[in-house]
């Protein structure tokens, strides 16, 4: 009789509400430890290497077939990636170099391949070009796949997670996060990442229970296929749960389902306070496949469509027609509710190979060429997006949102370009709206908040991006698990910047919404309504809970709560006031 593995409870940061129980799927993509052996029969070793390459070729070809079952956008992106990887094992420097190393140095195939991978990476880095540097990732991905085949270590990736599987990984990049499919994945836990990072944002948006910042021991102690529990409410990961723990979590899961059923009952009810103040509640959209869930959540439109995900997991830029098709599909699906498209926000922690040639190496990419700065430096990128959005606007109401704006001049230059695109499309007899869509400014940099009066004069609306606003104000990298605990949107400096922005918007008579993660947490709702926010855009899974919170509040209570909070200067005191607030 086999001995049952001991239960291990690990704490982390619960970043996405919910509980999931299922088999562990360990995504371990680091380069495996390579044995170093001197050999005599180099011909036999070369043959062993060639057999491994053929096995990988078969695996990649089979994956291409499986990708056809994914949603259209994901299938297309994965197809391009797999084609590139197949090309790398067809007479490439990687394969030819490893075969030569085996013969010349009389070493085993793994050691020879490892040497060639390191040589290629060094040569690519020496070019000092971001696009070329990005190819290092491809060499690593393909080389590691061959190494794992030689060492008989299964290759695991997100696109092959079995139904109901729980992903355990060191980290998940924003590009990988775009491939998370909630129809197949039940939950996830990672070693790296914070509550406001993009992996957390994506998990919340997809409604996937998630715990980040967990002890690295998860990758050593968890067995592939063993049962694990992800508790995104308590921020807990449980490996090998005992029968008693499984029973406890069955009860918790039943209660959670009952709570969700209660939330479903208010889906059709208005988002208004007890004293009748209307609040507009929209949803953020991470990937186009979310539209059905957004409509079912009761959201009144999409307050943030992150267009950068159209650029990820591909090696070429999306054309105007490709972007139009993706945007038009979402506008049609929303059936008259407005869709706000945020223009390209690539850079910082959001990298895309398709725009790599435009981004030089930067010591601090979060402060470098990204978002509107990149769009204005490379106007053809913005022009393509504007044309696609304008064409989609013929099918339903749309708005355009500019990210990372610092000065009014940036908005004016973008508006001039939008006007030119509108005239061009009109001359081309293309189907476009009768008038230009509203052009808004994202307030996510302290400089923008402090000059909100000037920006309000050239903007049709504001959207507060509290994730970056907090990050830049308190100088905390929100994706760095070493300092993630210090990231605090209740820092009085952040709250005053929100207050400045709302007051400037009121003076100019333009609407201001919030689309950062602060808006998705019900404990902040009363404070934000009290500060004057009347529009929220949150992940679709958060819409019912925010609506429930709004309906439990009165405007008078919210304004009094905001007054008490804004009279404080200590973050700890503010946190205590917010946590203790009861309507």
Catalytic residues: 198, 515
- Rounded alpha-carbon distances, angstroms, from residue 530 to 194, 370, 449, 479, 578: 28, 33, 18, 29, 12
HSE, side-chain direction, 13 A CA sphere, residue 253: 14
3-state secondary structure of 262: helix
Rounded Cα–Cα distance for residues 456 and 567 (Å): 26
Q: Note every long-range contact of 366-373, with CB atoms under 8 Å and residues 24 or more positions apart, other chains counting.
A: 366/471, 366/477, 370/345, 370/346, 370/404, 371/343, 371/344, 371/345, 371/346, 371/347, 371/402, 371/403, 371/404, 372/343, 372/402, 372/403, 372/404, 372/405, 372/410, 372/414, 373/404, 373/410
* H-type alpha helices, 289-407: 291-297, 320-333, 371-377, 379-392
- Please state the separation of Cα 513 from the chain's center in Å: 20
The residues near 466 (Cβ < 8 Å, ≥ 6 apart) are: 444, 489, 494, 498, 514, 516, 517, 518, 519
Rounded Cα–Cα distance for residues 541 and 207 (Å): 5
The residues near 87 (Cβ < 8 Å, ≥ 6 apart) are: none
């Amino acid at each position: 009789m086999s001995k049952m593995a001991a239960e291990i409870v690990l704490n982390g940061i619960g970043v996405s509400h919910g509980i999931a129980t299922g088999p562990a799927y360990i995504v371990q993509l680091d380069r495996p430890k390579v044995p170093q052996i001197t050999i005599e029969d180099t011909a036999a070793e070369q043959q062993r290497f060639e057999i491994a390459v053929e096995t990988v070729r078969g695996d990649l070809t089979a994956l291409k077939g499986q990708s056809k079952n994914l949603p259209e956008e994901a299938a297309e992106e994965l197809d391009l990636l797999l084609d590139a990887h197949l090309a790398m094992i067809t007479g490439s420097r990687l394969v030819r170099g490893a075969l030569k190393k085996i013969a010349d140095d009389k070493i085993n195939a793994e050691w020879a391949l490892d040497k060639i991978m390191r040589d290629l990476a060094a040569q690519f880095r020496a070019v000092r070009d971001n696009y070329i540097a990005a190819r290092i990732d491809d060499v690593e991905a393909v080389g590691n796949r061959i190494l794992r085949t030689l060492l008989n270590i299964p290759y695991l990736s997100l696109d092959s997670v079995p139904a109901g599987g729980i992903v355990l990984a060191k980290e998940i990049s924003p590009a990988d996060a775009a491939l998370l499919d909630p129809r197949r994945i039940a939950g996830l836990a990672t070693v790296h990442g914070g509550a406001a990072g993009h992996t957390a944002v994506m998990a919340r948006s997809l409604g996937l229970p998630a715990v980040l910042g967990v002890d690295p021991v998860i990758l050593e102690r968890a067995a592939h296929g063993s049962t694990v529990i992800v508790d995104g409410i308590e921020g807990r990961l449980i490996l090998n749960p005992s029968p008693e723990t499984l029973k406890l979590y069955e009860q918790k899961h039943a209660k959670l389902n009952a709570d969700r059923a209660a939330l479903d009952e208010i889906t059709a009810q208005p988002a208004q306070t007890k004293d009748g103040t209307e609040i507009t509640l929209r949803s953020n959209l991470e990937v186009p496949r979310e539209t059905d869930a957004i409509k079912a959540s009761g959201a009144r439109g999409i307050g943030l469509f992150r267009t950068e995900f159209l650029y990820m997991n591909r090696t070429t830029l999306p054309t105007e027609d490709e972007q139009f098709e993706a945007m038009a599909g979402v506008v049609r699906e929303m059936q008259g509710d407005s869709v706000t498209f945020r223009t390209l926000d690539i850079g910082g922690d959001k990298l895309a190979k398709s725009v790599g040639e435009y981004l030089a190496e930067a010591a601090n990419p979060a402060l470098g060429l990204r978002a509107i700065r990149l769009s204005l430096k490379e106007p053809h990128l913005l022009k393509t997006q504007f044309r696609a959005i304008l064409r989609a606007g013929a099918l339903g109401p749309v708005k355009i949102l500019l990210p990372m704006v610092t000065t009014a001049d940036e908005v004016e230059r973008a508006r001039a370009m939008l006007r030119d695109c509108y005239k061009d499309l009109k001359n081309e007899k293309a189907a476009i709206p009768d008038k230009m869509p509203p052009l808004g400014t994202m307030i996510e940099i302290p400089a923008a908040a402090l000059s909100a009066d000037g920006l309000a004069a050239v903007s049709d609306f504001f959207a507060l991006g509290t994730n970056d606003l907090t990050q830049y104000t308190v100088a905390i990298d929100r994706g760095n698990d070493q300092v993630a605990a210090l990231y605090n949107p209740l820092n009085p400096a952040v709250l005053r910047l929100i207050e400045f922005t709302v007051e400037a918007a009121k003076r100019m008579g333009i609407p201001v919404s919030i689309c950062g993660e602060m808006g998705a947490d019900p404990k902040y709702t009363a404070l934000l309504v009290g500060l004057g926010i009347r529009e929220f855009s949150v992940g679709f899974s958060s819409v019912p809970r925010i609506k429930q919170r709004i309906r439990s509040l009165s405007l008078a209570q919210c304004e009094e709560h905001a007054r008490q909070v804004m009279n404080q200067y200590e973050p700890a005191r503010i946190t205590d006031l917010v946590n203790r607030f009861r309507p």
